[in-house]
Amino acid sequence: MPEPARCHAVVPAAGSGSRLGAALPKQYLLLAGRSLLEWSVQALLDAPFIATVTVVVSPGDARAQALLGPRPRLRVLPVGGATRRDSVLAGVQAPGIHWQARDWVLVHDAARPALDAASLQRLHAELADDAVGGLLAVPVSDTVKRAASQVGGPAGSSDSPPVSRVAATLSRDGLWLAQTPQMFRHGVLLPALQRHPEVTDEAAAVEAEGLMPRLVRGERQNFKVTTADDLALMGAWLGRTGPV
């Protein structure tokens, strides 16, 4: 009889967070007394069904290990690459990794510090018998516009800055905003990442293999901190709610 599938989490944390414009990579910025990375990792460690948590940082980056310290089930690997895909792939196939094809890999963004326990448990429960896997996501609720760029202002002057105008209003039916964790069988995720270096998330790699990941309803506070406005909003949320 085969052993039950185990769950392993990977947190890519090798990015610079350049769009935020901060002095530190955004995963190390403090919100409500903890770095974004600490919030995100703790949410995974609090889940008893997750066997290991692997944080992937850039070579030479000692900050994550100093912040997180030695903890059971946690390891920090300085094998990160230039892109999210590179870092996740490096973490999944790092020396010492002996995961089985049936095991689950949950990839969670270091910059999503408000992952709640209920969403994480729901993801695990709804995918338990799935052959492929899926991801947390939320349905699009706002009206969606597609922009058409226009050079210059109304008079068409080349000295005026470019403006954007609405080209079309799109139907939001069937549109979802992807979140993390994204949870896939190791035997599905590893070859997908190896064969599709252009992807921006794990679900896209699995989709490129011709598979259809499952969408599991998440919560809106589990957004990714990308801009200064995001940082302020997330700080207010974490400061009000504390550990989630």
Dump pLDDT digits (tens) for 60-80: 999 999 999 999 999 999 999
- Which range is least confidently modeled, 20-29, 105-114, 115-124? 20-29
pTM above 0.75, yes or no: yes
Q: Does the domain formed by 7-138+175-241 have CATH 1.20.120.420?
A: no
pLDDT digits (tens, 9 = 90+) for 17-64: 566 666 789 999 999 999 999 999 999 999 999 999 999 999 999 999
Please give the structure tokens belonging to residue 2. Answer: 């085969």
In the predicted structure, residue 184 carries a pLDDT above the cut 80: yes
Q: Are strands 30-31 and 34-35 parallel, antiparallel or unpaired?
A: antiparallel
Residues 102, 187 contacting (CB under 8 angstroms) = yes
DSSP calls for 97-130 = ----TTSEEEE--TT-TT--HHHHHHHHHHHTT-
Q: Domain ranges in the chain? A: 7-138+175-241, 141-174
- Cα–chain center distance at 61: 20
pLDDT in tens, 5-28: 999 999 999 976 566 666 789 999
Residue 213 near residue 136, CB atoms below 8 Å? no
